[in-house]
Structure 1
Amino acid sequence: MTPPPPPGPWASGPEAAVPGRLGAVRERMAAAGIDAVVLRPSPDFRFLGGRGGGFLVVTADAAVETADPRSCLPPGVRRVGVDPEMRVRELFGLAVEAELVPAAQVFAPLRLRKEPYEVALVERAALAAESVLGQARELSWFGATERAMATRLRVLALESGCEEVLSARVAAGPGTAEPGSAPSGRVINPGDALVVSLSGRWDGYCAEVARVYAVAEPPEDFDAVYSVLVAAHHAGMAAARHPATASAVASAVAQAIDDSGYGRYAAPAAGRGVGLGADEAPRLRADDDTPLEPGTVFCLEPAIYVPDLFGARLGDMVTCTDAGPHPLTAAPSVLPVLER
């Protein structure tokens, strides 16, 4: 395995990291003119060691978990950073005459580069998700519904120690051509294209893995589409080398798909960052010029969707290191065929 990235500006364990993270958060708050940050249970909340079910309020000289964040705001507060996951009633509950701004401007840059212990936890989550899909592949798929198989996928994930299943998707036949489609009551039949993906949280950190199969026999041209995705994945990996940007990886993936003639069917993004959250910076798309520093972790997920026929998406977890990109999971290079 490629050596993990070097330590960041704080210590190397979850609890020991919190004081350094608080200091970095306060520096960014001061630079942005933010007097206080209010977090609910969320990735940013967990980043600062929050463990309860209330709120975490951070000011220049305090960090307090509380059920009543309003009581912890300093007098005369003018600008408050709020958690992007806060609900409307929670925002109204603050009842302060202050400007409310997204706290993401403070946290996103700090969470971008993972420490070695974080990379190790993401890798553990990624391998767990990959193992679950490996177990699922051995199930009987013929005659089952998408919804029933998605349920079985969730059960396998929970049995693996998954703390929270964020999504378990199964799409077969024409349903694979609809990005993000929910599992339906459609029966899975021989000759179907099949896309299966699992996103979940293990030990506080997230991972997503997506796999593509043919049921008994691939649809016409589906082998070719799978080969294009494998080539796009390789192109994205080759481009994910510091000091490359997220947009450079997205461009490499898009170019590989375009060269195959499937460019107009390609998904607009090639992936996104994963860590404490399942969808965070960087975004692998043309408009994101975030540098891929060592310690950046993302899900590389090239996808092709041909309307009314089929779609395919490969999702694998990748971390950036000083020596280059390192895959935490790896899709098969040849289209897998399910025989039952």
Structure 2
Amino acid sequence: MTPERVEARLKAARTAMDEEGVDALVLRPSPDFRFLGGGNGAAFLVVTRDTLAETADPARWVPEGARRVGVDAEMRVRELFGLAIEAELVPASSVLAPLRLRKEPDEIAAVERAALRAEEVLRQARELAWFGASERAMAAALRMLALESGCEEVLALRVAAGENTARAAHLPGDRVINPGDALLVSLCGRWDGYCAEVARVFAVAEPPEDFEAMYSVVLAARRAALAAARPPAPAADVARAVAEVIDGTGYGRFAAAHAGRGVGLGPDEGPRLGEGTPLAPGMTFCLEPAIYVPELFGARVADVVACTEAEPVVLSSGPPEPAALHVLER
């Protein structure tokens, strides 16, 4: 970041600290750390009303008599105990989360590059030999493709086949992929400091019966969500639009609990769809409508969306319609 941007963010952070009654921020390497310009190899970044220090000894920089200290949400337990600060410890997110909601144009461009790289990895995945391979083996192949694309960190990677597609938190296992299987494949990673997630629906040889109908409902929910994502509507309107479409088709009790969350320097930040935060230009979020029918199959798509003054912009090319569903060769 430029020195001018760091200074502007520090000024905003210090104003927010005053409003929240926070005397200092102690951040470890994390999205908040990077947001305020940290990154020179130090263990911690400490921000006070008149000091910015990257240090291995944060207690040295916390003002004597500090009453409330904001600590990083990613702080480890041993790091918290090691601070030895006699003050009330509160989440630093109370200060920094509102400041991170809206991205600068170059940040949106960085998120877009991350989304396009994630999508390119999933495009390359269509050329792999899926039939007869295990979920775990294909996840390993995707991880390698992601790293070869320049991904700095693979944050989440999902390959789910057949009945496993109906499990929202499924981790790739030994399940062998066969013709007639539905497949859910998703990749969340960090490229050049910014995060994005893309999820796509595949089928092997041919989709299972009724799968395309479920997939079409998910795409209809996605379209409704994009129509609702107009500033200054609350983020909850986007989630409500997803729910109304899915409920109207009888799949309501099988809908995913969340319609999406913000992405940027971190993979899970504001705005969180379903909450009342007013949408504003510069916000970027992962829209991820999904349906999971236990023991049958599930359908989920995910793309990163940027809010503008007018209509939202999908930063990747988006999923295909049911008629063009990705069907992998046997």
Normalising by structure 1, report the TM-score. 0.94
Secondary structure of 1:282's aligned partner: coil
Tell me if 1:337 matches 2:330: no
Distance in 1 of aligned mates of 2:234 and 2:328? 37
Q: 1:14 to 1:175 in 2, by over 3 A?
A: farther
Q: 1:143-182 to 2 correspondence within 5 Å?
A: 143-182=132-171
* CA distance in structure 1 between the partners assigned to 2:58 and 2:308 by the alignment: 39
Tell me, which stretches of 5 or more residues in structure 1 are unaligned?
A: 1-12
How far did 1:16 drift?
3.1
For 1:256 and 1:192, locate their aligned partners in 2 and report how far apart those are by CA, in whole Å: 26
Q: Secondary structure at the match of 1:168?
A: strand
Equivalent residue, structure 2, for 1:119: 108
Q: Residue in 2 aligned with 1:222?
A: 211
Please give the per-residue CA displacement for 1:171-230, whole angstroms capped at 9, x wherever unaligned.
001111111211001100011110000000000000000001111111111010000011
| Distance across 2 between alignment mates of 1:184 and 1:122 | 30
Percent of aligned positions that are identical: 69
Equivalent position of 2:10 in the other structure: 22
Q: 2:308 aligns with which of 303, 314, 321?
A: 321
Count of residues in correspondence between the two structures: 326
Structure 1 Cα separation of the partners of residues 126 and 260 of structure 2? 24
Q: Deviations over 1:233-268 (max 9, x none)?
A: 000000001111110000000101111111110011
Match in the other structure for 2:234: 245
In the aligned structure 2, how far is the partner of 1:338 from the partner of 1:180? 24
Counterpart residue number, 1:79? 68
Equivalent AA in structure 1 for residue 287 of structure 2: L
Alignment counterpart, residue 292 of structure 2, candidates 305, 311, 314: 305
How far apart, CA to CA, are the structure 2 residues paired with 1:261 and 1:326? 29
For residues 33-80 of structure 1, give each alpha carbon's deviation from its aligned partner in whole angstroms, at most 9, with x where no partner exists: 100000000000000111124100000001100011111111111110
The offset of 1:107, in angstroms, is: 0.6
Q: Which residues in structure 2 correspond to 1:124-143 (within 5 Å)?
A: 124-143=113-132
**Alignment equivalent of 1:193, drawn from 179, 182, 194:** 182
SS at match of 1:284: coil
1 CA distance for matches of 2:288 and 2:158?
A: 15
- Between the aligned partners of 2:210 and 2:278, the Cα distance in structure 1 is 36
RMSD: 0.9
Match of 1:256 in 2: 245
Q: Deviations over 1:143-173 (max 9, x none)?
A: 0100000011010011011111111110001
SS in 2 for 1:321: coil
Distance in 1, Cα, partners of 2:281 & 2:227: 15
Secondary structure of residue in 2 paired with 1:107? helix
Q: What CA distance in whole angstroms lies between the structure 2 residues aligned with 1:297 and 1:102? A: 22
CA shift at 1:14, angstroms? 4.8
Cα 1:14–1:300 change in 2 (3 A) is farther
Q: For residue 163 of structure 2, give the secondary structure of its aligned residue in structure 1.
A: helix
Which residue in 2 is equivalent to 1:66?
A: 55
Cα deviation, 1:2-51, whole Å, max 9, x if unaligned, reads xxxxxxxxxxx554311000000000001111000000000000001111
Match for residue 82 of structure 2?
A: 93
Paired AA for residue 21 in structure 2: G
TM-score normalized by the length of structure 2: 0.97
Report the AA paired with residue 301 of structure 1. Answer: E
- SS where residue 209 of structure 2 aligns? coil
SS in 1 for 2:180: coil
Return the offset for 1:276: 0.2
**Partner of 1:253: helix, strand, or coil?**
helix
- Residue-by-residue CA offset, 1:297-334 (whole Å, 9 max, x unaligned): 00100000000111111001100011220111111112
1:94 deviation in Å?
1.2
Q: Which of 270, 276, 293 is equivalent to 1:289?
A: 276
Partner of 1:7: none
Equivalent position amino acid for 1:306 in 2? V
When residues 311 and 46 of structure 1 are mapped into structure 2, their CA distance, relative to the original with a 3 A threshold, is: same
C-alpha distance in structure 1 between counterparts of 2:2 and 2:249, whole Å: 45
* Residues 137 and 14 (structure 1), Cα distance of their counterparts in 2 relative to 1, 3 Å cut: farther
Listed one character per residue, the Cα deviations across residues 96-148 of structure 1 (whole Å, up to 9, x for unaligned) are 22100011010110000000010000000000000010001111100010000
One-letter code of the match for 1:336? H
Rounded Cα–Cα distance in structure 2 between residues aligned with 1:180 and 1:167: 11
Structure 2 residues without counterparts, runs of 5 or longer: none
Task: State the match for 1:31 in structure 2.
Answer: 19
